[in-house]
Structure 1
Amino acid sequence: MAHSRPPRTGSDRAGHVETRGIDCVPDDERHGSPRELFALWAAPNVSYLSFVVGATLVLMGLSLAEAFAVIASGNLFWLLTGFIAISGPASGTTGSVVSRAIYGVVGNKAVVAVTGWLIAALYLALNWSAASVAGIGLAARLGLPGSAALDAVVITLIAGATVLVAIYGHATIVRLYTALTVLLALVFLALSAMVLAHADWSYAPAAPLTGPDRLVALASGLTVVASTPLSYANSPDLARYLPRGSGSAAITMWTAAGAFLPSLVFTAVGALAATALDMSDPQTALESVMPGWFVPVFVIGVVLNTMANNGMTAYSAGLSMQSIGVRLPRVAAVLVVGAIGTAMTLFAVLVFDFLTAVNALMEVAVVVTGPCMAVYATDILLRRNRYDGRALHDQSRTGPYWYRGGVNWPGLLATVVGALAAALCVSSSSWAGPVSAATGGLNLALPVGVLGSAVLYAALSRALRTIPAAPAAPASATTHH
């Protein structure tokens, strides 16, 4: 028997600007089911950037089999993104507020300023760059004279449309992304068929990598692929409106599956594209296998995907701004984040090489995002996902998450030490840590940062007994603050 949905009495309605910021969602305004998370995460990951990443693996010198193994392994980290999403319905608030339990009221502000503002703005710029490069290429094909001014107009239009999605908020995103998933899947599956018609399935590198060089390439490739799921610490923000009784396993799997499946397929197609096309210039290479009429369709697909990806990123970045104490309404906070991301995009497109930017950002960002995600997931396990939303909004010195001086030292130390250790082990075109240099360029930032931070946080939390500070019963998690 079908169940009718309860009426939505709050601000979370499709087609209306969401007015709720980081305050807790009361039970009578919870709605939806974990299944809707699939499209919510699929639309951002039916992505042109996946083609670029897949091609990068082959350009590193990996064989097809090695590239496919790296793609499958790296995308398994979407399970971590899905797992931390369960804290959203449990607490009724955003991930940037839940993390006060991990870092303390004051410590959380420093961490979220980096992960919620800086890293988010960098990914906004990266994705807008991909869409802008495609849009600028289409303008040239249409005969428009190339200029920095035209490039700036294309970038600004794409960014503006994306920010509009973030302004309307959660319910509009859920409704819109269901349609976008179908549309984008059709466009990119058609492109994939064109690429596969030219792919060399028997491809082998001209000079196959062996020994340490092979291990270096595999580790670097895994870091590049895994850096995408590790960058999405905002999954609780998009699940917080779900009813409290929503199953944790369902939330985890629908979130992970929505991102994993398109990422796996289109990154693999990108690797196959590099067997026959010169993917050092991805857009030109892909357009060479398209009929002329399909090029505008492809560009529209890239732009729509970028709007989907950056729409949720800008949405969460605005909430992060509120969580660290910036006294702006959610909409104004989104506009500020959008302006920062647009400025970075102008630099990336007009000053810096796009493919270089992709590799440099995705290899280095994991130094920060990996430890943050690992510590977050470990906290959920240690607390058994019991978070009191009202208590998390209590920022007073007598509140349960003030700890010592406003800092929960196990969380902050585990994250900082993990990030520093990862930085010593990272290897990219822009930075090589001393450990990486001593091992011939081997990039161990991923295992060191993720596993090291998780183990250190669990050990310090138990030693200092900070986890009991969490309330045992989340009965008040839906009270407005």
Structure 2
Amino acid sequence: MAQTTRIERRSIDVVPVSERHGTPLNQLTLWFGANMQITAIVDGALAVIFGADALWAIVGTLVGNLLGGIVMALHSAQGPRLGLPQMISSRAQFGVIGAVVPLVLVVLMYLGFASTGTVLAGQAISRTMGLDSPNVGIVVFGILSAVVAIVGYRWIHAMGRVGTVVGIIAWTYLLVRLFTAYDIPALLGHKPFDIVTFLLAVSLGAGWQLTYGPYVADYSRYLPLGTSETKTFWATLAGSVLGSQWSMTLGALIAAVPAVTGKGFLANQVGFIGELAGGGMLAIVFYLVIVVGKLTVNCLNAYGGSMTMLTTMSAFQRTARVSTLARALYITAFIAASVLVALLASADFLNNFKNFVLVLLMVFTPWSAINLVDYYLVARERVDVPALYDARGRYGRVNGGALLIYALGIAVQVPFLAQAMYTGPATKALGGADISWIVGLLVTAALYYPYARRTARHPSRIIYPEGVLDA
């Protein structure tokens, strides 16, 4: 029992073979549970709220989840072989110091998702306590998130298993309630197919998955060395796509009911879920369900956010190990920042969240393209792991060419954006359809591959630090 409850010792260093454990099934339950949560319901509802027919919104988010899920699962498959947190591997592409650029953006992403999730979970906790203001709930949720994230890896996976079971039961119940209360089949196919809103639904699904890219290897790195990459890939893909699509489908169906939007779903997602569940004690139960789902994913945000902060700082300190106390302090600081943002959050949550996801999509698709092309096609999974911690080593301080391609990968998407503040000329020519993430992936990969082939720095075989392979 002590082994399963002790505070995690590892942070940004390589996990030794002697400490590896688990199976790919752990990835399925973690990512399924992390996606059975209210923010994913909101994400699915957005496509309908912004004009899509419910049927095409469901199909669109499924396409997006599958396409984005393939990319994120390829990142997950790196974990067992490297034994590293996800963002450390970016140093092989951008240099030890150069990787700070995407790292800072990743910290902002973690902070954004943690803050928006904390708002919803805080509302649920406060409603359970009978309070009108969500502020007490926000603080309580922040404390819960910090505790689980500090204890670490094993508790996070345990939360994934709990979230999976609770989510399946709760979401099935809500679907039954929805179909019982409303004529849902009559609302499917009610509007004609529209390419613009369909592509928005695809982008929302893809964006949801692609923004998990910087997370996933953090939670597969403890798998035993030699664990099948194929099994890791499929377990991660299945868990993330099934969980998110189930939630997004529920969200699209909820948003398609005219009476629902009239009851204030747009302004009060948490309250409406309680009403749909049946009110009274059932509402309180579902507020707790919301907290479980958000706690599962927010622990990922706190855990990954703190390690990304540590990775950024270690680039200037030439260190590969961080004390347990330092790790706990970074997690606490990250949670404190996310709680502060949540307390100051805008009331226009839905519209801000849509724009937030799509902006993140623009930033992280080029990073994913560069990381995956380099790892699978150029380095062919051969990495000099000790050099990732040494700016004087094989990968150097800054890879200016990779950073330039990364910047171009972001810039090339601008004409294809469809944002509240800006709509690109290419988007206007396409009738408003946002395909920026597709352009970003393809153009970045096409530019990076020949460049990386000419300037390849990879070793002839994977190199581990001394002692990592000792059984």
Equivalent in the alignment of 2:344: 347
Aligned to 2:384, which of 367, 388, 392? 388
Q: Secondary structure at the match of 2:178?
A: helix
Q: Distance in 1 between matches of 2:47 and 2:238?
A: 23
Q: Give the 4+ runs in structure 1 shifted more than 6 A.
A: none
Gaps of 5+ in 2: none
Q: Deviations over 1:175-202 (max 9, x none)?
A: 3322332123222221222122234212
- SS of the equivalent of 2:150 reads helix
**Residue 375 (str. 1) matches residue 356 (str. 2):** no
1:159-181 per-position Cα deviation (integer Å, ceiling 9, x unaligned): 11112111111122123322332
> Which among 66, 83, 96 is matched to residue 74 of structure 2?
83
Residue of structure 1 in register with 2:327 after alignment:
330
The offset of 1:154, in angstroms, is: 1.4
CA contact (8 A) 1:427 1:433 kept: yes
Identity of aligned residues (%): 26
Q: Cα distance, 1:401 vs. partner?
A: 0.7
Supply the distance in 1 between the matched residues of 2:30 and 2:400 (Cα, whole angstroms).
Answer: 35
Distance 1:64 1:478 in 2: 55
Question: What amino acid sits opposite 2:45 in the alignment?
Answer: A
What whole-Å deviation, never above 9, does each CA across 1:33-67 have from its counterpart, x for those lacking one? 11211111111101112222222222222223311
Asked if the contact 1:129–1:354 (Cα under 8 Å) also holds between the matched residues in 2, the reply is no
**Residue 280 (str. 1) matches residue 266 (str. 2):** yes
CA contact (8 A) 2:410 2:440 kept: yes
Q: Does 1:230 align with 2:210?
A: yes
Asked if 1:31 corresponds to 2:16, the answer is no
Q: Alignment partner of 1:51: what SS? A: helix
Cα displacement string for residues 268-290 of structure 1 (whole angstroms, at most 9, x for unaligned residues): 12211223221424334433332
Residue 466 of structure 1 corresponds to 455
**Equivalent position of 1:364 in the other structure:** 359
Q: Aligned partner of 1:385: which letter?
A: E
For residue 380 of structure 1, report the CA deviation from its aligned partner.
1.9
Query: CA separation of 1:445/1:69 partners in 2, compared to 1, >3 Å: closer, same or farther?
Result: same
Q: Which residue pairs with 2:395 in the alignment? A: 401
Indicate conservation of the 8 Å contact 2:61/2:204, yes or no. Answer: no
Q: CA RMSD in A?
A: 2.3
The whole-number CA distance in structure 2 between the counterparts of 1:317 and 1:241 is 18
Counterpart of 1:60 (choices 37, 50, 53) is 50
Amino acid at match of 2:209: P
The one of 412, 423, 429 aligned to 1:432: 423
- Give the number of aligned pairs: 449
Structure 1 contact 26–478 (Cα < 8 Å) conserved: no
Name whichever of 418-427 and 324-333 sits farther off: 324-333
- Equivalent residue in structure 1 for 2:276, among 289, 299, 302: 289
Distance 1:43 1:371 in 2: 27
CA contact (8 A) 1:392 1:401 kept: yes
* Offset of residue 431 of structure 1: 3.4
Q: Residue 248 of structure 1 aligns with which residue?
A: 229
Q: Which residue of 2 aligns with 1:412?
A: 403
Measured in 2, the distance between the counterparts of 1:14 and 1:466 equals 44
Q: 1:479 to 1:457 in 2, by over 3 A?
A: farther
1:111 aligns to 2:98 (yes or no): no
Gaps of 5+ in 1: 1-7
Q: Residues 390 and 479 of structure 1 are in contact (CA less than 8 Å); yes or no, is this contact kept in structure 2?
A: no
Shift of residue 86, structure 1, vs aligned partner: 1.9
Q: Return the offset for 1:209.
A: 5.5
- Equivalent position amino acid for 1:288 in 2: E
**How far apart, in 2, do the equivalents of 1:230 and 1:43 lie?**
17
1:3 matched to which residue of 2?
Answer: none
Kindly provide the amino acid, as one letter, of the partner of residue 259 in structure 1: S
**Secondary structure of the structure 1 residue equivalent to 2:276:** coil
Question: Pick from 440, 453, 456: which aligns with 2:447?
Answer: 456
Name the CA distance, whole Å, in 1 between partners of 2:126 and 2:366. 36
- Show CA shifts across 1:290-330 (max 9, x none): 22221111111111111110101210111111111257722
Q: TM-score, normalized by length of structure 2?
A: 0.89
Distance 1:87 1:274, change over 3 A: same
1:218 equivalenced with 2:218 (yes/no): no
Residues 189-198 or 33-42, more deviating: 189-198
Residues 1:479 and 1:313: Cα distance change in structure 2 (over 3 Å)? farther
- Report the TM-score when normalising by structure 1: 0.87
